[in-house]
Amino acid sequence: MAYKAKKTTKKNNAMEEALEVVSKEATTRLNVEVPESRMDLLKLVVAGRKMTIREYVNDLLGESLEKDVDALGLKIKN
């Protein structure tokens, strides 16, 4: 029983630390409908990479946006 409590505490602490990092940046929720076949593939890929769907989608979106910004010659305001 103590082992489970210790494991849960570590997991909760890790989640709190991750939320602190994420919460420092302003975010916007994006709701998207995904076909079931793609969702099944997404779940397989995410499980293989040991990531969350949110992390995977944010990584892909970031990479895609960087490529598009470069391709379109856009300037980003910092």
- In the chain the domains, ranked by start, together with CATH numbers, are 2-72 (1.10.1220)
pLDDT of residue 19 exceeding 70: no
- What is the four-CA torsion angle of 54, 59, 60, 61, rounded to 10 degrees? 80
pLDDT of residue 1 exceeding 60: no
This prediction has a pTM of 0.59
pLDDT band at 13 (very low <50, low <70, confident <90, very high): confident
- What is the four-CA torsion angle of 54, 8, 15, 53, rounded to 10 degrees? 0
28 compared with 20, residue with greater pLDDT: 28
What pLDDT, in 10s, does the model give residues 24-73? 667 788 888 999 999 999 999 999 999 999 999 999 999 999 999 989 98
3-state secondary structure of 33: coil
